[in-house]
Structure 1
Amino acid sequence: MAIQKKTLTIVLAFFAIYVIWGSTYLLNKIAVSELPPFKLASIRFVIAAILIFIIAKILKINISITKEQLKNTAIAGFLFLTFGNGVVVWALKFVDSGFAALEISAQPLVVLILMRIIQGKKISTMAYIGVVLGFIGIYLLVSQKELVSQEGQIIGMIMIFACMISWGYGSLFVGKANLPSNYFVNTGYQMLTGGIMLFIVSMILGETWTLPSTWNTDVQWSMLGLILFGSIIAFSAFNFLLKEVSPEKVATNTYVNPIIALILGWWVLNETITLQSIIAAIVLLTGVYFINTNRVIKPRGIGR
């Protein structure tokens, strides 16, 4: 009975990192249709951080950290959330949610290249093939005339790629930085500091702040989903799976998330899925597969 219960928990956890994380692109797209992007991201992460700390207290988890750990979580919070997520949410004002998810699926490629440049890591033949396929897939994705002709589409694609570099560098940074040993606490501080910096950016840009009661019902539900499901439940499931199954199995969310995002964007928002996008997805995700079969790059980006 205990084995069956654990198996069910693992299945539900995979559902969370596959479907919930895949749906966050749609939820962000809906929310950013009414809310300013940095305000949206700030509210999401600050509230999620507060809820995480409340849960930690209930579970009697020690949330105290050192000054160095606070500084490092703030740096990670900026790389992953303030820039890495805030700018993606901004880009969703111009880019389809499924398109954004597909472009972001190339993140392991970016991480591998940064490891080669910054850490001098050697790249195997399989990984080289993955890099080539990845670049071909990205080219097929971003070279579509019907997309490039849309207003703001090019700058949106460029900024999403900049966010991927930020996430990639953040992944390398957290691998060596002195951070809280408890992953739950570490996430809470990253979300809190990242959310506060997003609030500062929002104030500097003069974004308009309104009460949740004035938001459209769809936006209210989207924000609730981002906070509870995207930031807390899915990430907790991700953390659980890293302890219970092999990392390469957890990394399969890299392939599933963009497919979920594409389908939901097409189904809910009537976003266009072109034949070239489908071909680009196959080539790009094949490249990511080649990269991950050589050296598993754990999916990062706690701010999905």
Structure 2
Amino acid sequence: MGKSSNSALVYLAFFAIYVFWGSTYLLNKIAVTELPPFMLAACRFITAGLLIFILAKILGISLTITKKQFINSVMAGIFFLSFGNGVVVWALRYVDSGFAALEISAQPLIILVMMRILQGKKIKPMSVVGVVLGVIGIYLLVSQKQVIAKEDSITGMIMIFFCLLSWAYGSLFVAKADLPHNYFVNTGYQMFTAGIILVLMSLSFGEDWTSPLDWSVEVQWSMVLLVIFGSILAFTSFNYLLKAVSPEKVATSTYVNPIVALLLGWYFLDEQITLQSIVAAVVLLTGVYFINTKKTLAIFERFKR
């Protein structure tokens, strides 16, 4: 493969992690207006996991893993997908998709603080500046009257924060856990087992399951796009980029995803973008920029949406 072909592949992969991941907030928001949240997430991840297994078989990739690797995959799937993503989908019933994306962009801040609390890691001066800016940005974001006035919006914001804690702890867990060595297989097991857990969560909450044939066309397309583009292609592109370019460049998705989500929510769902939201976004993302060290990136960037 020539240099120009590699360059084209890199550009396409960046497009995937920028736009596809940024659009998952819009797609989940559209789908959750009609489908129960845990059912929605369960369908997405079980389908994506099965497709990954089928692709792995076609490509001749072994799906054999140890018992310990399977257990760790289940745990990682719970931290990142069952709770981390499933509850975000639930929260999207009460907050705008762009708002959720901005709040979630504080993930590196939470990871850094948790590394300090649980592992005693020192926070570098530049990262301290990042934490301060991140806290200010989050405050500006969640203190808006337009946001707080919406019914159950506070509950949605709090639940997204707990998702951030789950992702942060999960990130520290997978950094040391024995997981399947092939990232494609690893992702497949995490998605499939997380989907099964989400089925149990859905049933325990008494959600009403419906056939995909009964869903509206908009929701059907949202699910297809979430599975193919938001799960399989974006994850594959992300893992390719980790080998093809530096982690700092891959980490730019942290800054681009919320912007894509805000614009898509504004354009397709008429979500309001206030001046305070813009200021909060600038302050928060600047803080994230200061926080993003190579070591932190290597931990949290490997496992996103």
TM-score with structure 2 length normalisation?
0.98
After the TM superposition, which residues 36-185 of structure 1 pair with which residues of structure 2 at under 5 Å, given as runs?
Answer: 36-185=36-185
Contact 2:127–2:290 (CA under 8 A) maintained in structure 1: yes
Structure 1: stretches of 5+ with no match in the other structure: none
Give the AA of the match of 1:57.
K
Q: Report how many residues are paired.
A: 304
Give the 3-state SS of the residue equivalent to 2:78 in structure 1: helix
Residues 10, 241 of structure 1: 8 Å contact kept = yes
Distance 2:29 2:195 in 1: 19
Contact 1:167-1:300 at 8 Å conserved across structures: no
Q: Deviations over 1:164-219 (max 9, x none)?
A: 01001101100000000001100100001110000000011111111111101000
- Counterpart amino acid of 2:201? V
| Secondary structure in structure 2 of the residue aligned to 1:34 | coil
In percent, how many aligned pairs have the same letter?
65
- Contact 1:88–1:159 (8 Å) recurs in 2: yes
| Runs of 5+ unmatched residues, structure 2 | none
Q: Does the 8 Å CA contact 2:112/2:296 hold for their aligned counterparts? A: no
What's 2:29 paired with?
29
Task: String of CA shifts for 1:38-95, please: whole Å, max 9, x gaps.
Answer: 0000000000000000000011001111111110000000000110000000000000
Q: Could you tell me which residue of structure 2 aligns to residue 224 of structure 1?
A: 224
Q: Secondary structure at the match of 2:131?
A: helix
In 2: Cα distance, 1:12 partner to 1:294 partner: 23
- Measured at CA, do residues 103 and 301 of structure 1 come closer, stay the same or move farther in structure 2, by a change above 3 Å? farther
The separation in 2 between residues aligned to 1:190 and 1:296, in whole angstroms, is 21
- Aligned partners of 1:294 and 1:77: how far apart in 2? 24
Tell me, yes or no, if the aligned pair for 1:80 and 1:166 is still in contact at 8 Å: yes
Aligned ranges 1:195-210 → 2 under 5 Å: 195-210=195-210
Matched-pair contact (CA < 8 Å) for 1:251–1:296: no
What do you get for the CA RMSD once the two structures are aligned?
1.1
Verify the 8 A CA contact 2:80 2:166 in the aligned structure 1: yes
Query: What per-residue deviation string (whole Å, max 9, x for no partner) do you get for residues 265-285 of structure 1?
Result: 000000000000000000000
Deviation at 1:290, TM superposition (A): 0.4
Partners of 1:294 and 1:302 lie apart in 2 by 15
Which residue identity lines up with residue 24 of structure 1 in the other structure?
Answer: T
Counterpart check, 1:188 vs 2:188? yes
Which amino acid is 1:12 matched to?
L
> 2:269: which partner in 1?
269
Please tell me whether the aligned partners of residues 248 and 296 of structure 1 are also in contact (alpha carbons under 8 angstroms): no
| CA distance 1:125–1:294, shift in 2 (3 Å) | farther
Shift of 1:250: 0.3
Question: What is the CA-CA distance between 1:292 and the residue it aligns to?
Answer: 1.0
| Cα separation, partners in 2 of 1:17 and 1:258, compared to 1, 3 Å | same
In the alignment, is the contact (CA less than 8 A) between 1:231 and 1:303 conserved in 2?
A: no
User: Residue 171 of structure 2 contacts residue 303 of structure 2 at CA under 8 Å; is this kept in 1?
Assistant: no
* Shift of residue 149, structure 1, vs aligned partner: 1.1
Give the aligned partner of residue 281 of structure 2: 281
- SS of the residue aligned with 2:297? coil
Q: 1:11-26 maps to which residues of 2 (within 5 A)? A: 11-26=11-26
State the 4+ residue runs in structure 1 displaced beyond 6 angstroms: none
Q: Report the Cα offset of residue 300 of structure 1.
A: 4.0
Alpha-carbon deviation of 1:303? 5.9
Instruction: Report the AA paired with residue 167 of structure 1.
Output: W
Does structure 1 retain, via aligned residues, the 8 Å contact 2:251–2:301? no
Q: What is the TM-score with the length of structure 1 in the denominator? A: 0.98
Residue 137 of structure 1 contacts residue 280 of structure 1 at CA under 8 Å; is this kept in 2?
yes
